[in-house]
Structure 1
Amino acid sequence: MLRKTYPYYLANRPQTSKQMLEVHDKYTGKVATRVAVPDARATEKAIVAAVAATKPMREFKPWARQAVLQHCAQRFTERRDELAEALCIEAGKPIKDAAGEVTRLIETFRIAAEEAVRINGETLNLELAARLDGYHGYTKRVPLGPVSFITPFNFPLNLVAHKVAPAIAAGCPFVLKPAEKTPIGALIIGEVLAETDLPKGAFSILTLNGEHAAPLVEDERFHLLSFTGGQIGWDLKARAGRKKVVLELGGNAACIIDADQGAKLDKVVDRLVFGAFYQSGQSCIGVQRIYAHADIYEALKRKLVAATKKLKAGDPKKKDVFLGPMIDEAAATRLHDWIIKAKQAGGKILCGGKRNGNMLEATLMEHVPTDAKANRMEAFGPFALLAPFNTFDDAIAMVNDSDFGLQAGIFTDSLDHAMRAWNELEQGGVVVNDIPSFRVDNMPYGGIKLSGLGREGLRYAIEDMTEIRLMVMRES
């Protein structure tokens, strides 16, 4: 069970407050717990503490950083059930999926622990001409210093982990603002971090509102801003000044089903259903656009509709429930309106399409106009559209006809088509013979176009949180 209240964390220490933020059970709508809200001075105190922790964190040895990350992984393992229950309640995520996210949280910290002791430099050959005889070059990576993080509601554990764990591995003090709708997971992570011997000021986790979070974006004492969320990220980048900015801003992921998949449609459908409707479609790489070759389109459609209709919706605390609530009624209303407008513009609802509060049915459509919001924008809910293609060139063009470019998937037995997809799809990643929703926590993850800038994934995030320092040595 959730506790009655949770503190925020300022310079590694829990803090209480008279002002409290209510966190609701996303299925029942009832208040599940309350968290302390920092006052306006807390952000400045957190930044001052992070700046003061810059040198101690830089001098905190790799083996010590590794020990902190290993401790976290162990404690998260011990508190697995508590974390899953909290996630189920605060995010409305079905309990099976919540347990899966806890597993990924643990894996992310374990991978970061491994990376903490292999942040290496290189030796450079500078003797490129006779005048350079006796010169040698060496590089190493050094921490950037204080960094700021803003995370979204949909993966309240693992998306926090993908910022916090590499920061510790790199030796960067940080200030984190978790999503107001789902702060509990981040605060439990803070509780575990507070058990470690991280230098004072190494971390602060502040449950800030938007107004008080502005310094995390604008303050020049931060050397990097990492933001995961919606298109507001571009505004944050414009306000960030000279600091490095990493943005992961979502997408409307597409999946190609090639003509040679006719005998494998059952397996393909299983993965498409998962990718489209897992955690009510509230995933940046959820399957939104499904493009199937005309030869197999009707067969795929029949199987996909039948499988979607079998999904059980309801209380996410029940183990047999696949489809829980969306994060709030406003989110469900927005997507439902898109569905209705797409239908009015000529789209056909194949199944679903109805809403009750923040519960939206798993919805499949076809004939959705290319200029409809349900096609052009990020649905971020239990929705997917189907469309046929005649040639592989057509499929490539359909996927690329998007302002987003995070990840795409392709099911094919053709090596040529797989390689062409990798070469020609305008995406940060291409997944062959699986859905675009696939992610392993050590791989580079991020997109192009409106999907963002930079890459996450432990080693790649560590590279962003460090800078190269060169030493040139001349033989005496």
Structure 2
Amino acid sequence: MTMTSTDQQTETAEFSFDGLYIDGEWAPSGTGRVEQVRSPFDGRLVVEVAKGDAADVGRAVAAASRVHAAGALPLSRRIEILDAAAVALVERAETFARAIALECAKPIKTARGEVSRAVDTLRFTAAEARTQSTSTVPVHAVASGEGKLAYTLRVPIGVVAAIAPFNFPLNLVMHKVAPAVAVGCPVVLKPASQTPVSALLLAQLFADVGLPAGWLNVVTGGGSEVGVPLSTHPDVAYVTFTGSPSVGWGISAAAPRKKVRLELGSNAPLIVDERSDWRAAAEAAAFGGFVQAGQSCVSTQRIFVHRAHVDRFTDLLAEMVSTLVVGDPLDETVDVSAVINSGEAERIESWIQEARQGGATVVIGGERDGAVVSPTILRDVSPEMSVQCREVFGPVVTIVAFDDFADALAQANDSDFGLNAGVFTDDIAHALEATRRLEFGSVYINDAPTVRVDLQPYGGVKDSGNTREGPHYAMEEMTDVKFVTIRPTA
């Protein structure tokens, strides 16, 4: 949508905030600058947010460091806050869902699902906090340990720098903030520049349910202005980053003495075996390849189908994809809307054109209208094409025929990434072989790879990262182990 300068001057934003959220207060950034966030779908003004810089990061880290030095809130209080936050999020669900739909063009029904998952993430984290325990160490098994009591404690690692992506602007933030609160680590959060609203609403929610000042600070702004000074700040002990491999590994290289945990990209494979319910696989692919316009780290991208089924599978998938409703994310009927911006849409379109020029067949889709890319299925692709060897992060899937199951596994592994993989098979031997041979953090049998249960260990290998998220696993990452021995004096 094109606007005149007069239109832009008089336009009212959907949301408003009084600056950055630092040490329990809303305040302008030190730069005094603001930036507009507009809907990827129609360009409407979503919010004007403060544009932070290194000085703002310094203020936020100082606030977090102060409360860390003062000692963690009692565990019982942290659990109360997490429980109350879950209740408050349910009450504010529609506000959060609308924010998600507007800031990242996620269809409103899918946005509601993200809010529901974020509630679950809070509840899982609170439950995990209730079960944290010490563990005894049998030092009396050696002579020097006789008569001693020994155990381990998990203690908060320190200030957490959380850098979040645009595609799940609430739930992926929650996967960083909730575990940190649970273990007693204060947080400085940098949301994605394209999607700050959910994070700012969350800061207000936590304040409303009693999280004290300094425990959650939100600094909005770009990667170079905020992300770099935050991840390299000497008083930050732990960096949790979700985003692109190039940025993630760059953060890790720039902060070699910090604990840096990365959840990065993928080009998730789905294998459809000869002995399988290939119709169910097509249905799973119709969801997994196109939900939220394919902008998920585990979006189904590379589909390998046994030659006995490939034509029927392709026809059925194309039929299902043709029924997807494309349009305004606030429309209750819409399944697929815009990608995050027109630049990304143009890139995706160029990759489709590259594949077409290289001999690939466009079964359906392939068009672009602004930031909206139509759901696209490609066949006859080759391994070196961008749509096959790179992460599309858009509503595009490829289909490749195979004759031998072992070859399909090898093709699935032929990737720089290793996050999620899915296999449809009724052959138990093939299922077990897949779980052994597939080089991925998660393997789903008779399901698409576009799956994440929020309490599971979630993460990958190779260029997909170096961590496992999920409340239990994130809480372990955000703590250090302290070993204690007690020797009676009498």
Q: Does 1:229 align with 2:243?
A: yes
In the TM superposition, residue 4 of structure 1 has moved relative to its aligned partner by 4.1
Partner SS, residue 140 of structure 2: coil
Partner of 2:24: 12
Partner of 2:288: 275
In the TM superposition, residue 266 of structure 1 has moved relative to its aligned partner by 3.1
Q: Does 1:460 align with 2:460?
A: no
On the 8 A contact 2:156/2:478 being kept in 1, the answer is yes
Partner SS, residue 309 of structure 2: helix
Instruction: Name the amino acid aligned to 2:478.
Output: M
Kindly tell me the number of residue pairs found equivalent between the two proteins. Answer: 473
On the 8 A contact 1:180/1:208 being kept in 2, the answer is yes
On the 8 A contact 2:189/2:219 being kept in 1, the answer is yes
Partner of 1:448: 461
Instruction: Name the amino acid aligned to 2:258.
Output: K
Q: Does 1:334 align with 2:347?
A: yes
User: Please, which moves more after superposition, 110-119 or 278-287?
Assistant: 110-119
Partner of 2:265: 250
On the 8 A contact 1:43/1:212 being kept in 2, the answer is no
Distance 2:230 2:130 in 1: 28
Distance 2:191 2:146 in 1: 53
Distance 2:149 2:432 in 1: 40
Partner of 2:59: 45
CA displacement, residues 346-378 of structure 1 (integer Å, 9 cap, x when unaligned): 211111111111110101101111011111110
Q: TM-score, normalised by structure 2?
A: 0.94
In the TM superposition, residue 5 of structure 1 has moved relative to its aligned partner by 4.3
Instruction: Name the amino acid aligned to 1:351.
Output: I
Partner SS, residue 204 of structure 1: strand
C-alpha distance 394-177 of structure 1, shift in aligned 2 (>3 A): same
Partner of 1:175: 188
CA displacement, residues 381-404 of structure 1 (integer Å, 9 cap, x when unaligned): 000000111121111101101010
Instruction: Name the amino acid aligned to 1:282.
Output: Q
Distance 1:158 1:350 in 2: 34
Distance 1:338 1:69 in 2: 43
In the TM superposition, residue 6 of structure 1 has moved relative to its aligned partner by 5.2
Q: Does 1:36 align with 2:50?
A: yes
What value does the CA root-mean-square deviation take over the aligned residues?
1.4
Aligned pair partner of 2:430 in 417, 423, 434: 417
Partner of 2:14: 2
On the 8 A contact 1:7/1:187 being kept in 2, the answer is no
Distance 1:358 1:226 in 2: 29
CA displacement, residues 158-217 of structure 1 (integer Å, 9 cap, x when unaligned): 010000000000100110000011100000000011123334311210102223222211
Aligned pair partner of 1:300 in 313, 319, 334: 313
In the TM superposition, residue 140 of structure 1 has moved relative to its aligned partner by 1.0
In the TM superposition, residue 59 of structure 1 has moved relative to its aligned partner by 3.1
Distance 1:194 1:470 in 2: 34
Aligned pair partner of 2:255 in 240, 245, 258: 240
In the TM superposition, residue 62 of structure 1 has moved relative to its aligned partner by 1.2
Distance 1:28 1:330 in 2: 14
On the 8 A contact 1:6/1:187 being kept in 2, the answer is no
On the 8 A contact 2:15/2:197 being kept in 1, the answer is no
Partner of 1:356: 369
On the 8 A contact 1:23/1:31 being kept in 2, the answer is yes
Instruction: Name the amino acid aligned to 2:235.
Output: R
Partner of 2:108: 95
Instruction: Name the amino acid aligned to 1:45.
Output: R
In the TM superposition, residue 16 of structure 1 has moved relative to its aligned partner by 3.5
In the TM superposition, residue 260 of structure 1 has moved relative to its aligned partner by 1.5
Instruction: Name the amino acid aligned to 2:266.
Output: G
On the 8 A contact 2:272/2:278 being kept in 1, the answer is no
Partner of 2:84: 71
On the 8 A contact 1:53/1:199 being kept in 2, the answer is no
In the TM superposition, residue 40 of structure 1 has moved relative to its aligned partner by 4.4
Partner SS, residue 197 of structure 1: coil
Distance 1:193 1:100 in 2: 21
Q: TM-score, normalised by structure 1?
A: 0.97
On the 8 A contact 1:352/1:364 being kept in 2, the answer is yes
Partner of 1:218: 232
On the 8 A contact 2:54/2:230 being kept in 1, the answer is no
User: Please, which moves more after superposition, 31-40 or 346-355?
Assistant: 31-40
User: Please, which moves more after superposition, 128-137 or 442-451?
Assistant: 128-137
Distance 1:41 1:71 in 2: 32
Identity of aligned residues (%): 38
CA displacement, residues 86-135 of structure 1 (integer Å, 9 cap, x when unaligned): 11111101111011001011111111111122222211111223443223
Distance 1:416 1:164 in 2: 41
Partner SS, residue 349 of structure 1: strand
Q: Does 1:163 align with 2:176?
A: yes
Unaligned runs of 5+ in 2: 1-12
Partner of 1:188: 201
Counting only pairs closer than 5 Å after superposition, residues 52-131 of structure 1 correspond to structure 2 as 52-56=66-70, 58-131=71-144
Partner SS, residue 152 of structure 2: strand
On the 8 A contact 1:400/1:425 being kept in 2, the answer is yes
Partner SS, residue 259 of structure 1: coil
Instruction: Name the amino acid aligned to 2:260.
Output: V
In the TM superposition, residue 438 of structure 1 has moved relative to its aligned partner by 0.8
Partner of 2:279: 266
Distance 2:263 2:215 in 1: 24
Distance 2:332 2:258 in 1: 45
In the TM superposition, residue 414 of structure 1 has moved relative to its aligned partner by 2.1
Aligned pair partner of 2:159 in 146, 158, 165: 146
Distance 1:55 1:413 in 2: 56
User: Please, which moves more after superposition, 149-158 or 111-120?
Assistant: 111-120
C-alpha distance 287-39 of structure 1, shift in aligned 2 (>3 A): closer
In the TM superposition, residue 459 of structure 1 has moved relative to its aligned partner by 0.5
On the 8 A contact 2:179/2:474 being kept in 1, the answer is yes
Partner of 2:40: 26
In the TM superposition, residue 435 of structure 1 has moved relative to its aligned partner by 0.8
In the TM superposition, residue 7 of structure 1 has moved relative to its aligned partner by 3.3
Partner of 2:482: 469
Unaligned runs of 5+ in 1: none
Distance 1:40 1:450 in 2: 29
On the 8 A contact 1:6/1:34 being kept in 2, the answer is no
User: Please, which moves more after superposition, 194-203 or 376-385?
Assistant: 194-203
